[in-house]
Amino acid sequence: MILVTGGAGFIGSNLVNHLSKSKKTQIVSVDWKNKENSDYFNCDSILKVSPKNLDNFLKKNHKSIELIIHLGAITSTVEKNVRLIVENNINLSIFLWDWCVKKKKRFIYASSAATYGNGENDFIDNDSSNYLSELLPLNVYGWSKHIVDKFVANKTKMNITPAQCVGLKFFNVYGPNENHKGEMRSIALKIYQKIKKKSEVRLFKSHNPDYKDGEQLRDFIYVKDVVDIICWFAENAKIDGLFNVGSGQPRSFKDLAKAVFKNCNAEQKIKYVNTPNNIRKQYQYFTKANIQKLRNAGFKKKFLSLEEGVTDYIRNHLNNE
């Protein structure tokens, strides 16, 4: 049995659908939105559990569960409710980690590229305590993920660890099943929806002299590639550590917009607007995942290019909704 928290979310639902194809083991989705996002699932064999029943489910099924993939979290980078973030992003992560330690189970959890802050210490998935102590996330969400990374690193240093422990630092993921995310949905989806409504497509102006408007760079990675990485770790139980999950190829927002316009057969028209003051100080102008550690561990699959990912997303998913 594989238990996926956040299983009805964006990455979670794509992962659950993929894992369910094998039919070798029972897949469990733990999510408040299991019913609300039921159209995200394409398999009837998925077992759906409410988070309020998680404790009892773990007690009753501790012998059957072999792996917990913990993706559930408050993912908004502008969330101000610290108590909510502590409960969902820190306490729950440590609880599940501790359960896996005691029951000798495997644990894969979601970290984030937000832990790198403005990138002044580079984007290296180094899990040493010294390196982690140098990172300064720019928002509460990033801090919550960083605290868990440091907790796991310190416990590993003390040789206290689950049967397998893998942390995944997700960069800018886009793809199917993100409609519920509101303002946190990807720029790719936002642009697509604007074009379909014949509304004005807007991108942020640059407030950094080193970057032109629309040429801020992000490491975009398609969700299907993310699922492949998670499943690879699930299949390689002896690999542990903290790993970046990105393409390793930063691209501009203008590149992304161009790909969406092309797949919508629409004329490229972009208006540049000021970055809101409430996020301007924490705005990242450049992210690039260093994926050498992932490659050295043995993951060899080639990632889809930004253009390939956007084409698949729009033509095989968004246009069919």
Catalytic positions: 141, 181
Q: Which of 285, 303, 190, 308 is nearest to 246 (CA)?
A: 303
Cβ 299 vs Cβ 217: under 8 Å: no
Only one residue has tokens 């440590």, namely 94
CA separation for the pair 203, 309 (Å, rounded): 20
5 forms beta bridges with 30, 70
Instruction: With H, G, I as helix, E, B as strand and everything else as coil, classify residue 30.
Output: strand
CA separation for the pair 189, 152 (Å, rounded): 34
Strand runs labelled E in the chain: 2-5, 27-30, 47-49, 67-70, 106-112, 164-170, 172-174, 202-204, 217-218, 220-222, 241-245, 251-252, 271-273
Output DSSP code: residue 286.
B
Backbone phi and psi for residue 110, each to the nearest 5 degrees, phi listed first:
-90, 120
CA separation for the pair 287, 138 (Å, rounded): 13
Q: Which of 139, 159, 143 is nearest to 111 (CA)?
A: 143
